[in-house]
Structure 1
Amino acid sequence: MPAPLNLLTDIDGLSVGHATDLTLGSGVTVVVFDEPATASGIVLGGAPGGRDTALLDPSLTVEKVDALVLSGGSAFGLDAAGGVQAGLREIGRGLQVGTTQVPIVPQAILMDLLNGGNKDWGLHSPYRDMGYEAFAAAAKGSFALGTVGAGTGATTATFKGGLGSASAVTPSGHRIAALVAVNALGSATVGEGRHFWAAPFEEGQEFGGLGLPATFAPGDRSMRLKGVNLKATTIGLVVTDAILTKAQAHRLSIMAHDGLARAILPAHLPADGDTVFAAATGKRALEDPLDFMELCHLATLTFARAIARGVFEATALPVEKAQKAWRDSLASDQTAG
């Protein structure tokens, strides 16, 4: 079952902030931890872009991060983590290295440079400032989904992509939640229709309650891509309130990728950069080995649900020839009916 908000902020000990520019057609989302969180991650897409992702390998030294960043802008968007670092440095956060502190801020980026927004930003990209803006906006409680933050310029093969989130509670009371910017080369929906591949995992009607189609036509399982030569990426994270080792966090990120593969078809393509982080705020101990198994299971389900919610909540960009949103197709069908 989902936690109260069905959002990442159901996890105690973190805040979420967005910077959104609809004219640019891009944005930044940051997750700031109240205290450094144990973190890891894994890349399974063939064309990733990231900053400080290598340190998340469970065999490497640094175990904790101060924040995680998801951003549009492709490689230009990697400047966003610098803005978040600046904000963290202002408030005295960071890994103590001798007499100085270095904020640890891994980041993943997605390709949204060809969505019709105005990318003529001049000499320097806007992403460092947007990273700082998102950091400054970080708060607890409810936050917007859809065409916002890192999901602003996201697209998929069939409908406008966006930012999604979902949460769950294990039988022992541990919480886990996902946050995803859905910018897939493939599709989150079945065939040309509105049914989500993630439908079996839906809680209530969090992404429309349509379920799966009554039958599948042969073409429903055919490959749908938003372009042959385009780059894409679905990026996100899962966070739990459990006390985990870095190796356990790494396993959690692998399980979340299972959710990605259940919610997007096809996933992990050579031109995707699919990247998932996992973090643990360390508020509650695991009392039983099955507790961690349950977290792994729910990492898969919450990530799949968050992907469907990102597409479900998205709205089209206010630009000419913008990709239509799932909600636009619903309205068209209702009008036609």
Structure 2
Amino acid sequence: MQPGPLNLITDVRGLKVGQAHNAALKSGTTVLTADKPLLSSVHVMGGAPGSRETDLLDPDKSAPGVDAFVLSGGSAFGLDAASGVVQGLRDMGRGFPVHTARVPIVPAAIIFDLINGGDKDWRTSPYPVLGQAALSNLEANFALGSVGAGTGAMSAMLKGGTGSASLVLDSGITVGALMIANPIGSVTTPGERHFWAAPYEIDGEFGGKGVDPSTGLGRDLNSEKITAMLKHANTTIGIVATDAKLNKAQCKRIAIAAHDGIGRACVPAHTPMDGDLIFSTTTGDKDLTNPDFELAMIGHAAALCVTRAIARAVYEASPAPNDLLPTWREKNET
């Protein structure tokens, strides 16, 4: 397995990502969509998720496809970003046909970034506008770090962000991940130099500092984030995608497997205070010749992409006024 040409989720042909953020707000929104509805599912392992339209992604539910996914800052307010995306898709004539109407299907998930040094004293929620703006900025080669939904994200000791990664299997199937890293846990070992994800790094994609040579790691769970915020409010959310032809139950299995990637990149992960959630989706362009084996490999690749995407999110984060936590580069490249 090797990364695709962009090392982004959009290496899955047909996918595009749009992002919008407000620097003063220290928050934003990220949208993933395609030209046709996407067969999709979801799995939640955090104890405090914030989401919209997730029940319809269960294999026993009838919704045939998703028009777009929304990942957003703003906690519960950020779910309004999906309303802006729904309106934008409706204006495009997109949506599930119901008699003479069309209803865009837009699942969404949010992170808590309400206490991160940004100006949150709005009178009208900014998130519907951010959602529409993100939908209007769709592209294949998109930025990482302090952009979109990851603009105001934080991990335990460092700024978080938006990250992505991809892998192309030996069979030619492509798998990618798009993650918003905002965990209560750390993404680096003590000292904030080495990423927990280091064993899975490819070609220095998040700094190339290698594996921490220390032993007995994982027992020091200090969190400057909690100290700065005086709140347990977090979440790592994202999307994994492939071009393999899967059914809804197989998509669910991929979403479950992908959560291993959060556990490898964030310590601890899936806590009662995190809202860890991963959507899974497919363009369905490539048939499986050995379904059980290939499904296992797609799930494995999805987890690897999630791990790398989380580390890339933190590695690519950039400083901004009134930040509560430093970036990885401020700690390691100055």
Report the TM-score when normalising by structure 1.
0.95
The whole-number CA distance in structure 2 between the counterparts of 1:222 and 1:202 is: 23
The whole-number CA distance in structure 2 between the counterparts of 1:283 and 1:37 is: 11
The whole-number CA distance in structure 1 between the counterparts of 2:312 and 2:333 is: 17
Task: Tell me whether 1:152 sits opposite 2:151 in the alignment.
Answer: yes
**Match of residue 236, structure 1, among 235, 238, 241:** 238
Give 5+ residue unaligned stretches, structure 2.
Answer: none
The C-alpha deviation readout for 1:223-242, integer Å capped at 9, x for no partner, is: 23332632101110100011
What does residue 329 of structure 1 align with?
A: 331
After the TM superposition, which residues 59-208 of structure 1 pair with which residues of structure 2 at under 5 Å, given as runs?
59-122=60-123, 124-140=124-140, 142-208=141-207
The whole-number CA distance in structure 2 between the counterparts of 1:157 and 1:168 is: 28
The C-alpha deviation readout for 1:141-193, integer Å capped at 9, x for no partner, is: x1100000000000010110000000001110000000000000011101223
The whole-number CA distance in structure 1 between the counterparts of 2:80 and 2:68 is: 15
The whole-number CA distance in structure 1 between the counterparts of 2:330 and 2:170 is: 38
Contact 1:25 1:153 in 2 (8 A): yes
RMSD: 1.2
3-state SS, counterpart of residue 79 of structure 2:
helix
Q: CA deviation at 1:215?
A: 2.2
Contact 1:153 1:317 in 2 (8 A): no
The whole-number CA distance in structure 2 between the counterparts of 1:63 and 1:304 is: 29
Q: CA deviation at 1:294?
A: 1.1
The amino acid that maps onto 1:257 is: H
Contact 2:197 2:311 in 1 (8 A): yes
Q: CA deviation at 1:63?
A: 3.0
The C-alpha deviation readout for 1:52-75, integer Å capped at 9, x for no partner, is: 111111221113100001000000
The whole-number CA distance in structure 1 between the counterparts of 2:49 and 2:218 is: 28
Contact 2:192 2:328 in 1 (8 A): no
What does residue 335 of structure 1 align with?
A: none
After the TM superposition, which residues 282-321 of structure 1 pair with which residues of structure 2 at under 5 Å, given as runs?
282-289=284-291, 290-319=293-322, 321=323
Q: CA deviation at 1:219?
A: 6.1
The amino acid that maps onto 1:222 is: D
The amino acid that maps onto 1:131 is: G
Report the TM-score when normalising by structure 2.
0.96
**Count of aligned positions:** 328
The C-alpha deviation readout for 1:219-269, integer Å capped at 9, x for no partner, is: 653223332632101110100011110001111111110110111000011
Contact 2:43 2:256 in 1 (8 A): yes
Contact 2:19 2:137 in 1 (8 A): yes
The amino acid that maps onto 2:131 is: G
The whole-number CA distance in structure 2 between the counterparts of 1:145 and 1:108 is: 18
The whole-number CA distance in structure 1 between the counterparts of 2:131 and 2:318 is: 22
The whole-number CA distance in structure 1 between the counterparts of 2:217 and 2:313 is: 24
The whole-number CA distance in structure 2 between the counterparts of 1:244 and 1:37 is: 11
